[in-house]
Each structure stands twice: as structure tokens, then as C-alpha cells.
Structure 1
Amino acid sequence: MFNQTFDSPVIRHVAVVGSGLAGLTAAIQLKGLGHDVTVFEKSRGPGGRLAAKRVSGGSADIGAQYFTSRNPDFLPFLRKFGGVDCFGPWQGRFGFQAPGGEWQPFPEETRYVGTPRMTAITRALSAHAQVVAETRVGKLARKDQAWSVYDTGDNHLGYFDQVIITAPPAQARELLAESGLHELAAHLDDPVQRVLPCWAVAAHFQAPPWPHHEAMRCQHPALFWVANNSSKPGRNDNGQWWVIHASPTWSKQHVESPADEVAERLLEAFREVTNFQIWPDDLVTHRWLYARSEGGDQPGHLWFPEHNIGLAGDWLSGGRVEGAFDSACGLIAELNALPASQ
């Protein structure tokens, strides 16, 4: 799909909302088809679920921890537009705790991470797109056959033939509702309810707190995932940075709790699992409100032809990192099949 070239005289002006993997995939493919594309990103830089946070001496991946590849086009796309150095395999020992407490190995599968951090992937991809950062799209307004796009300060950002929204369901629904597109917004009522939060803590240890695995799923009500971030390729940390993800249920119950209280309780849960003796000497805590989608209808992407508005994201295609790529590919394939007049 991503090797297609533009063979139509019609150039569409397309706005993409969000510069995560889905948004950048869509932008790169549309640009390759000859269209004029602008990506609007509310943060300082691209990332989406491939998020990292600065810590002493480097960074820690507090969003998606790794990704796999089942679509044969995914890795070639990353190599072509991101470069071979922006990601690599994570050779860590992965384990999960069975209900009886014993540890078992993860199924064999190649798992990849960005190098030297997860955001390296989206930053590399963003070099192939026109990204307008620190700009939050707040409203769309119909202007003849085009869309006028405005930021949250009511500043006009331009006219576009089509709009692709790759923000999380709650933010996408808010944008559609603010634009008076309540029927479209209603399509997201169920997905919004299915997106789960996640508290994340990055903790630095001078000595390894757990010598048996680099990544693990634990049988603990507060914990979903624990990993030695320093074991990933390209990280050159002194000591070890470990990332702790709280379970969805625990995160939902404590979504409004103070960050220092969350960190203390999650570290105590980690100690209950590993029995580490040395308390970390540095901490970074992050509340990830739109961490993962669970269940529900997942059509791959959404396209509303009467409005020339589409939605893409991993939440529409299985929830995995690769799902963002799959979702964008499906949407662009549908747009590419449209008559030239649309």
C-alpha cells in the first residue's frame, strides 16, 4: 500500500489531527499519493502511544512498551520512512506469573522498541510530514465543500477538503461535538467507555531490583506490567530505570489520586512481587488517561463520506501498536478508491 504513487490530477488538501503512528502513517501515505497534508499536534512533538518521558540521564518509555509485527508491510514501512536505526528487537527475558504464583516464559515472538526511546519512531516518521505542533484543533466548520479548521483559541488554521482524526475516542468525540457533528460524535459513545486509563511510574534503582526477567506480567491486583527500561537497546543508563504500569481496574479506581501517593503504592506492590531491598532513588509518575481500548466493535477505521471525515487509530483495529498502522492503511485505501470529485 505505502509504495503506491499518485496518478490522478486531483490534489486534495487534507488535515490530520494527531501525530501518533496512525496520523503519521496516514499523512505519509497521502503525501505519497500526491495530496497536500497538514498534521496538527497538540503537544510539542509527535508520539501518541509511543510516549517517553525525560528522566535523569535519559528517558523512560511510559506509554506502549514494545510492538510486534504481523502485517508484512509494517516493518518495511518503518524502515523506509523511519530508518533502520529508529527501532530494533528487544532481547529481554519476558515472564508472566501464573495464578499459583509460579513464573512462566512469554510465548516466543520478536518484540521491537524504538531506539533510543519509543518516540524515536514517530520523530523519524514526522520528518516526512508537515507537522504543526502545539496546536490543538478545537472546531471544524463547513465552508462550501471544504472544512474550515480552527484551534481551541478560535484561530483559523486553513481550509481542507478532508479531515482525518486520529486522536483518542474521547478527544475525537469532543471535537466532533464542538463542530456540531453530533451524529458522528454519537458513533464514539461506546468506544469512549471502553478506553481505560493507566498510571505509570518510572523508578531508578542503583542495583537491580529483580534479576530474573526484564519484563513481566504479575499476579497482583495493582500491577499490569513491570519492565527494566534500561534493558532495551540503545539505553545507556547508570543503574536501572524500571517502568511500572498499574492495572486498568486499579488505575480507574485511583485516577484522581495524588501522583506521589500512586507512586508509593505501586512501588510497594512491586516490592511485594520481587522483595527488592533497596528503595529507588528517583521517580517519575505519569497519568495516562487514554491508555488502551478494551473490546467493542473494531471496524478498522471509520469514514463518513457525506462529511469527508475519517477516523483512524489502534482503538479501531485491535488495540496493539501495529493496529494504528493497520487502521490508517485501511482508511487511506478507502480514500484512494474515491471518485476524483470527492
Structure 2
Amino acid sequence: MTSTPPPAFEDPIGLAIIGAGLAGISAGRLARRQGVTPLIFDKGRGIGGRLATRRATLDDGTVLRFDHGAQFMTARSPALVAAMAGAEAANLARRLPAPPLHGPSLHGQPPAPERDQPRWVGQPHWVGMGGMTAIAKHLAQGLDIRTGTRVGGVVRTGRGLWRLEDEDGLPLVQARRLIVTAPPEQTLDLLIDVLLPEGWRRRIASTIVAPCWALMLAVDEALPLPGPRWRPEDEAIAWLGDQTALPGRAAGPQSLVVHATPHWSRIHLEETPEVAAASLLRELERLIGRAITPRLIQAHRWRYALAEVPLGSLCLADTGTGIAIAGDWCIGGRAEAAVDSGRAAALALIG
């Protein structure tokens, strides 16, 4: 990532990208390789979207890291395989064998088959050394990303340029091409004043992206779990991952990430993190059949986490006006889907 001064507003740039998650980063990487220098904006303090790692410090100074978004990512395209191999060579990522996401049940019963199990079979799982954000930072090397910058609106100018404005309506940049990688609802809000190609708004609005509450938990006494990665058949809990078992993690108490199911997350969507954390802790106690005394407990809400009804195509792109829309929600909920979508958007606009 770079921190050069922003370009003069009067001088249009080749490509602006909204969102520095995997889709935006991947679009930026490909654009730069094609000779177009992108400028990426993200409202958050960091990059990577759900490729996120949260640090928490205990009373004794122990620092814990929780991958509270994506727990791993796969890589199948040659470009992404090469990028992940580079991250591994730089000791920023580690390739793990792909075990079944279903572990054995706590009571020894064989798990029900996972509905979409074939997409994971035989695929190595890549994890970041010390946190999944290490992968995002590796992929974003050399890109100009302006974090902490919320784009409030997009306008198509009479000169055929894309003007990005902040929340106060002040201009940020003008670009010849634009890629939007926000979730579908936010994408429609951003482009409310833009004349989009016929059918785009209907297709975007027809997608369904489910929320997810993530519980981060540290306990002194290790919990009796069937394995380090567990996808139980449960109405409330969709996934449980032992962060202590991941590479590059310091020794300390058992650290867990628990992802709630879409159904549970929708019911508790507007609760405070404190209330949601307490509620999800009770669900975990019910699931494992014992009380839990947490040493640390936090919760984070991902309002847009899992594409239940995706767009059905890699991206939307209109080369005539130079706009594309991308994101994992276009084709599925995998981290790799965001990479594929972002690359497709950049290819469509730049070639």
C-alpha cells in the first residue's frame, strides 16, 4: 500500500475502486498489471473486508488474535495460487490440508453431509500467519488505498467521468472507470443517482446476503470440542474454530471464534455486541453441555456475510460507461469468490 498525496481533482484518474476487501484489492492488482493505476477507497480503518483479524489484550498483557471473519481461503486460479505461494514464501501464509468441515459430533454420531461439500473437497486451506489480515496485506502491496474514507455518493459527469463524493458532498476524485465492491444494498445506495443499464437494479436487489454474529472467546480451561474446526448441525451455531491451533499464534488460553447461523443472526441482528455475545455464549454452553467461564468475550456483527441468493454472474460491467460491480455476493460466499469477481470486473473494463 502507498500513501502518496491524492491526485488533483481536476485531473481524472484511470480507475477508482470503492471497497478494499478482497474484490477491490484483486481488481486493483489486475488493473495495475494491465497498466492502469487504481485508487481504492475504504470506509474502514483497515483493509481486507472479512479477511479480518482482531487483537485483544488480556489483563496480564497476553495478546490474542481472532480471525472473526473468514477462517481460511482456497486458491484454484493460477494467478491466486501464485499469489498465495508468494505469501507462503514470505512467511505470511500457510497452506493446510483440507479436512472435512464437519468434524465428528460430540456424541460420536457421524455428521450429516454438508450441502456444498464438493466445492471444498481436495482444496488446501490457506490461513494467514498470525491472522488472516496478513494475506490481505500481502495481496495489497503496492496499491494506493485510502482507508477511513467513506464514499457518500457517485455522480456521472457531463464529461463522461465518474465523480466520487464524500459524505458531505465534497469531491474526492474523478475517474474514467469505476468498480464498486460494496454489498448489494450499499451498492444501490451509492449509485442511487446513477442511470444504470437496464435490469441491473432489479438483479442487484434480488440478491440475498445473510448477516453473521461472530463470538470471540478466550477460556483458561480448554473446552471439549471434536476438533479445531467444527461445523455442528445446530440451529444457532454454524461454525467454531480454535484460533490457538492456527499457525503463528502465541501461546496462551484457548481462543475460539464462534459464528452464528444466518437464522440466529437475523433474530439478534440489532442487539448490542454485549447482549449478542452473552446470548451466543449461552448457545455454546447448550451445545457442548457445560458452563463456560470466559476470560475474554467479545462479539462482532457482520451485517453482510453469506450470499444466500447470489447474483449469478462473476460481475456486472458496462464498458460503454466504464462501470463494474463486483463482490463475493455475485457468485458465492467464499473468500476466493471475491477474488474471482474483482478480477472479472477489472478485465471487463480494462481488458
Structure 2 unaligned runs (5+)? 1-11, 58-62
Structure 1 residue identity aligned to 2:167: T
Cα distance in 1, alignment partners of residues 193 and 167 from structure 2:
10
Partner in structure 2 of residue 325 of structure 1: 339
CA contact (8 A) 2:273 2:300 kept: yes
Tell me how far apart the structure 1 counterparts of residues 24 and 229 of structure 2 sit (CA, whole Å). 29
Aligned pair partner of 1:298 in 296, 300, 312: 312
| 1:24 to 1:61, Cα distance in 2 relative to 1, 3 A | same
Partner of 2:9: none
2:66 to 56, 60, 63: 60
Q: Secondary structure at the match of 1:145?
A: coil
**Residue of structure 1 in register with 2:176 after alignment:** 161
Is this contact kept in 2: 1:39–1:132, CA < 8 A? Answer: yes
Query: Contact (CA 8 Å) 1:210, 1:276: kept in 2 or not?
Result: no
CA-CA distance at 1:55 after TM superposition: 1.5
Is the Cα contact below 8 Å between 2:210 and 2:304 reproduced in 1? yes
1:129-208 to structure 2, matched below 5 A, reads 129-143=143-157, 144-179=159-194, 181=196, 184-191=200-207, 194-208=208-222
Cα distance in 2 between the residues matched to 1:16 and 1:239: 40
CA displacement at 1:299 relative to structure 2 = 0.6
Q: What are the within-5 Å matches in structure 2 for residues 72-87 of structure 1? A: 72-80=78-86, 84-87=90-93
Q: Determine if contact 1:82/1:125 at 8 Å carries over to the other structure.
A: no
CA displacement, residues 280-311 of structure 1 (integer Å, 9 cap, x when unaligned): 11111111100110134411111023321101
Deviations 1:106-147 (A, max 9, x none): 866421111211111112222220011111111122221211
Q: Report which stretch shifted further, 297-306 or 89-98.
A: 89-98
1:239 shift after superposition: 0.9
Write the distance in 2 (CA, Å) between the matches of 1:169 and 1:83: 36
Q: Is the CA contact 2:93–2:134 (under 8 Å) kept in the aligned structure 1? A: yes
2 CA distance for matches of 1:240 and 1:142? Answer: 52
Question: Contact 2:65/2:243 (CA < 8 Å) preserved in 1?
Answer: no
**Quick one: distance in 1 between partners of 2:144 and 2:310?**
33
Question: What SS class does the counterpart of residue 187 from structure 1 fall into?
Answer: helix
Asked whether the 8 Å contact 1:90–1:232 carries over to 2, the reply is no
CA distance in 1, matches of 2:155, 2:343: 26
Q: Do the aligned partners of 1:200 and 1:287 also contact (CA within 8 Å) in 2?
A: yes
Partner of 2:7: none
The aligned residue for residue 18 of structure 2 is 17
Q: Which residue matches 1:313? A: 327
Contact 2:204 2:311 (C-alpha < 8 Å) held by counterparts: no
Please report how far the alpha carbon of residue 83 of structure 1 lies from its aligned counterpart in structure 2 after TM superposition.
5.8
How many pairs were matched up? 325
Deviation at residue 234 of structure 1 after TM alignment: 0.7
**CA positional deviation for 1:99:** 12
| 3-state SS, counterpart of residue 226 of structure 2 | coil
TM-score (norm 2): 0.85
Output the CA distance in 2 between the equivalents of 1:248 and 1:99.
22
- d(CA) in 2 for partners of 1:92, 1:243: 19
Cα distance in 2 between the residues matched to 1:292 and 1:96:
21
Matches within 5 A, 1:268-307: 268-307=282-321
Q: Is the 8 A contact 2:211 2:302 kept in 1?
A: yes
Supply the AA of the counterpart residue of 1:58. L
Query: How far off is 1:80 after superposition?
Result: 4.2
Which residue of the partner structure matches residue 102 of structure 2? 95
SS of structure 1 residue aligned to 2:252: coil
C-alpha distance in structure 2 between counterparts of 1:100 and 1:190, whole Å: 40
Change in Cα spacing, 1:39 to 1:251, as seen in structure 2 (3 Å) is same
Deviation (angstroms), 1:232? 0.8
* Superposed CA offset, 1:41-89 (max 9, x none): 1111202121222212132011111112232332212344786422113
TM-score, normalization by structure 1: 0.87
Offset of 1:267 from its aligned partner? 1.5
- Aligned AA (1:47): G
Q: Deviations over 1:132-171 (max 9, x none)?
A: 1111111122221211211112221121000001111111
Q: Detail structure 1 runs of 4+ shifted over 6 Å in the superposition.
A: 98-101
Corresponding letter in the other structure for 1:145: G
Q: How far apart are the structure 1 equivalents of 2:219 and 2:103?
A: 22
Whole-Å Cα distance in 1 between the matches of residues 85 and 326 of structure 2? 22
